[in-house]
Amino acid sequence: MRPSWSHAGLARDRPVRDFGDPLNATLGTGFVALGLAASVMGVSSISYGLLTRNRRLVELSRNLVILVGVAAVGQFAVMERALITRDFTVAFVAEHGSHRTPALFNVATLWSALEGSILLWVLILAGYVVAVAWRFRGRLADPMVAWALLVLFMVCTFFFLLLAGPAFPFTRFEPWAGYDGPGPNPLLQNHVLMAFHPPVLYLGYVGFTVPFAFAIGALATGRMGEGWLVSTRRWTLLAWGSLTVGIVLGAWWSYEVLGWGGYWAWDPVENASFLPWLTGTAFLHSVMVQERRGMLRVWNLSLLSATFSLTILGTFITRSGVLDSVHAFTESGIGPMFLAFFALVVAATVGLIAWRGDDLRRGGEIDAPLSRTGAFLANNLLFGAFAFVVLLGTVFPLLIEAANGSRISVGNPYFERMTMPIGFALLFLMAVAPALPWGRAGVELLSRRLMWPALVGVGSMVVAVLAGSRGWAPTLAVGLGGFAVAGAVRQLLLAVRARGPRGLLGRSSGGMVVHVGVAIVAVAFACSSSFLRQAEFSFDEVGDRASIAGHTLVFEGLESVELSEKNEVRVSVLVDGELHKPAISTFPFGGQTIGTPATRSSIWDDVQLAVLAVPEGSGSTIVRVTVQPLVWWLWFGGGVMALGTLMAAVPGRARNEDVENDGTVAERSGITGVAS
């Protein structure tokens, strides 16, 4: 094996190792084999133990879980060691590592490409499996827990098979004297968020495997009560919260690195992470109806299965090479395996739900459409419609290409026109639902509870218009956002008045804080998108001035900077008297030139500078300037959502205990859940 970029260059100004440590490839291969063997043995021992009702065989899985954890940590650590020591005898390091890559990005190189990203996925998955086995260590022989572990071992087996087959990361390579690799994609080593966004996103992606496994366990054992929901409540919150933070970090990363003035482009890979977030959010809403009324059992199981299935589909879209995206990995051979696994998951869950259909349909009924139960049902239908619209726009081009080879694209207008009315309806329901009682709601009760939030919403619209808002969409978004925030704050104040500061903790109050964060993000998204101003300016001499949207720019000159991994031409520009230095960066080994934007951020607006061209000898320096209001509030709103998730995970009035083996709910506190 010999990389095609052998001409890319040799490391300058430092010695290069001619040979690596052959132990890395050997150890890595051994850990992959160990993980696959332990996973297969886990599937076999639990399956046979359940079939023969042999408790000891089921409990043997405890030791196999440890082996899976050791294998996952071992193979991850070996690859990181190979990257840190620049061991080019490992092909993955030869293809993606470099002596020039800074330390932080060298560590993050592991998840910058296909094989390493699967290693990270398996590490997080194994961590969840070990945590589940430890949390339920006294109940491993419980059939529902045993079935959940069986599902987790099956998922582990699939991913270890990927590592042992098409995504094998420890292929050997023989470097020649002076060899140095190209390093990761320049876009992936141009901002610190590269080190944090993928791991956090994977915590959410992989985390939904746990509640899915327990849902399969409930279906397999016929325990259709609410017990499995209580057992997995905080696991679901952890996955949803991590996915939320991961998506926000990804948008922030895109905004800071790409320099086009945006943070969300309805890119297929962005949509791949957004789809399970939509169905997971719907599940967090409707699960409270099941816990309180015993309703929506089929719907909840379907939502949870869809969420897990969408994480697999999203992984296929991201890693199979079926589409062109700045986020996607190169073409690989893992696509058929992911599609087969996706089809297996869908077929198995649909079959189990159909098998248990009669038991699942038993439950309560909606007392009245105008009630919290009715609002949650409407909320779920809207989230389902939202997910369908995004899924259709994402996979339709792939289906057309598979059918006749034609390449088409679904652009932003489709997503914006189709999702905007759904988003407005969700904001309205988010404001109204917490004020509704579980039973029938009277007009007098609703008017009393919603009067002040509604007045705040109207006042917000008036303030927006006075501040210069034009257009019905952003103005309505501000009004509905104010309505939702006021409704959530009202609920928080009632909780504090009833229970003191402790009232701010628990599922109900945490959910209200999440609502505040969602409303902030929605308003910031609407305003920053609607009132974006963008222009390109040419600067010839130091002191040249320009102005846009009330901001003054002064050109201060150019400077060249040579770093270990790249060469930069920085453009010094004063923005309202504050110096900023956007740059054009050239990565010699990768043969790429990319922009490095600079952003002046405030709570009112952002001014982002992106260099489009610098003179070679003579000519003009061209800078694109983008001004957007309220972008800072996007990241702040994401932080509020993360805080609300943590608050929802902390027990409120009473600590909810796990269910007993009969599958009944041990305790119902009456507290509504996150995003209620």
Q: Is residue 527 part of a domain?
A: yes
Q: Considering the domain boundaries, does residue 153 fall inside one? A: yes
Asked, for residue 659, whether it belongs to a domain, the answer is no
Mean pLDDT of 349-368: 77
- pLDDT for 215 beyond 50: yes
3 pLDDT higher than 60: no
Q: For residue 567, what are the CA distances in angstroms to 143, 153, 559, 572?
A: 60, 47, 11, 16
- Confidence at residue 308, expressed as pLDDT on a 0 to 100 scale: 94
For residues 25-47, average pLDDT:
95
Same domain, residue pair 465 and 538: no
Give the span between the Cα atoms of 346 and 106, in whole angstroms: 38
Which residue has better confidence, 591 or 175?
175
How much is the pLDDT for 330? Answer: 46
Interatomic CA distance for residues 19 and 25, integer angstroms: 13
d(CA 609, CA 558): 14
Q: What was the pLDDT predicted at 265?
A: 87
Token output for 213: 């496994």
pLDDT band at 676 (very low <50, low <70, confident <90, very high): very low
The last residue of one of the domains, among 184, 208, 227, is 184
Residue 90 DSSP one-character state: B
Given a contact cutoff of 8 angstroms between Cβ atoms, the answer to whether 558 and 598 are in contact is no
Residue 475 counted as domain residue: yes
In whole angstroms, give the CA distance from residue 317 to residue 213.
23
601 and 641 belong to one structural domain:
no
Q: Which residue do the tokens 């094989």 mark?
A: 115
User: What tens digit of pLDDT does each residue of 394-441 get?
Assistant: 888 877 876 777 777 788 889 999 999 999 999 999 989 888 887 776
* Rounded average pLDDT over 231-241: 91
Render pLDDT for 263-309 as a digit per residue (tens, 0 to 9): 898 888 889 999 999 999 999 988 888 877 777 788 889 999 999 99
CB 175 within 8 A of CB 89: yes
94 in Cβ contact with 88 (< 8 Å):
yes
Spatial neighbors of 343 by CB under 8 A, at least 6 apart, are none
**Tokens 């900023």 — which residue?**
580
Report residue 524 CA to chain centroid gap.
Answer: 19
Q: Where are the alpha helices (DSSP H) in 53-179?
A: 55-59, 61-84, 91-96, 103-108, 114-135, 143-164
The pLDDT tens digits of the residues spanning 444-498 come to 788 888 899 999 999 999 999 998 888 899 999 999 999 999 999 999 999 898 8
Is 30 in the same domain as 108?
Answer: yes
Q: How far apart are CA 124 and CA 141, in angstroms?
A: 25
Could you give the C-alpha distances from 82 to 78, 110, 178, in angstroms and in order? 6, 10, 17
Domain-embedded: residue 221: no
Helix (H, G, I), strand (E, B) or coil at 589: coil
Average pLDDT for 44-61: 90
Q: Which CATH number goes with the domain that contains 153? A: 1.20.120
pLDDT mean over 514-532: 93
Contact 64, 45 (CB under 8 A): yes
Assess whether 551 and 507 both reside in one domain.
Answer: no
pLDDT reading at 617 higher than 80: no
Q: Are residues 138 and 6 in the same domain?
A: yes
361 assigned to some structural domain: no
**Counts for the chain of helices (H) and strands (E), in that order:** 21, 10
Q: Alpha-carbon distance 639 to 51, whole Å?
A: 47
Burial class from Cβ neighbours inside 10 Å (0-12, 13-18, 19+) for residue 619 reads exposed
Residue 39 has pLDDT above 90, yes or no: yes
Among 580, 575, 574, 612, smallest CA distance to 595 is for 612
- Residues 7 and 127 both lie in one domain: yes
Among residues of the chain, what percentage have pLDDT more than 90?
53
Amino acid at 502: R
| CA pair distance 652, 655, nearest whole angstrom | 7
Q: What is the pLDDT of residue 360?
A: 74
Alpha helices in 136-226 (DSSP H): 143-164, 197-207, 209-221
R_g (Cα) of the chain, nearest Å = 27
Neighbours of 262 (CB within 10 A): 18
| pLDDT given for residue 366 in this prediction | 65
Confidence label for 376 from pLDDT (cuts 50, 70 and 90): confident
Contact 643, 504 (CB under 8 A): no
**Residue 95 clears pLDDT 60, i.e. is over it:** yes
- Identify the domain containing residue 511 by its residue range: 439-531+635-649
For the four alpha carbons of 518, 524, 527 and 533, in that order, the dihedral sign comes to negative
Task: Return the residue matching tokens 């850990």.
Answer: 31
Beta-bridge mates of residue 568: 561, 585
Q: In one letter, which amino acid is 17?
A: R
What local confidence, expressed as pLDDT, does residue 350 receive?
A: 92
**Do 520 and 539 belong to one domain?**
no
Same domain assignment for residues 47 and 124: yes
| Poorest-pLDDT segment among 359-373, 421-435, 534-548 | 359-373
For residue 484, the model assigns a pLDDT of 94
Q: What is the mean pLDDT of residues 76-91?
A: 93
Is the pLDDT at 626 greater than 70, yes or no? yes
Give me the number of domains the chain comprises.
Answer: 3
Q: Verify that 640 and 623 share a domain, yes or no.
A: no
Instruction: Show which of 163, 184, 205 is a domain's final residue.
Output: 184
Q: Is residue 348 part of a domain?
A: no
Q: What is the pLDDT of residue 20?
A: 59
Over range 545-569, report the average pLDDT.
Answer: 89
Residues 120 and 132 placed together within one structural domain of the fold: yes
| Residue 323 CB neighbours (<10 A) | 20
Asked whether residue 651 carries a pLDDT value surpassing 90, the answer given is: no
Q: Which of 64-73, 185-194, 216-225, 338-347 has the highest mean pLDDT?
A: 64-73
Distance (Å) of CA 378 to CA 382, 416, 514:
6, 21, 19
Q: Who has greater pLDDT, 57 or 670?
A: 57
Domain final residue, candidates 184, 218, 241: 184
Residues 80 and 116 in one domain: yes
Q: Taking all residues of the chain, what is their mean pLDDT, rounded to a whole number?
A: 85
Which of 497, 487, 517, 484 lies closest to 647, judged by CA?
517
Q: 43 or 3: which carries more pLDDT confidence?
A: 43
- Sign of dihedral through CA atoms 567, 573, 578, 582? negative
Q: For residue 359, is pLDDT > 80?
A: no
Q: Would 430 be classed as within a structural domain?
A: no
Does pLDDT of 675 surpass 50?
no
Do residues 316 and 276 lie in contact, with contact meaning Cβ atoms separated by under 8 Å? no
Give the model's confidence band at 591: pLDDT under 50 very low, under 70 low, under 90 confident, else very high: low
pLDDT in tens, 303-345: 999 999 999 988 888 776 555 544 444 455 788 888 899 999 9
Token pair 């139960």 is found at: 373
Q: Is the pLDDT of residue 522 over 70?
A: yes
Examine the domain organization and report whether 26 and 98 are in the same domain: yes
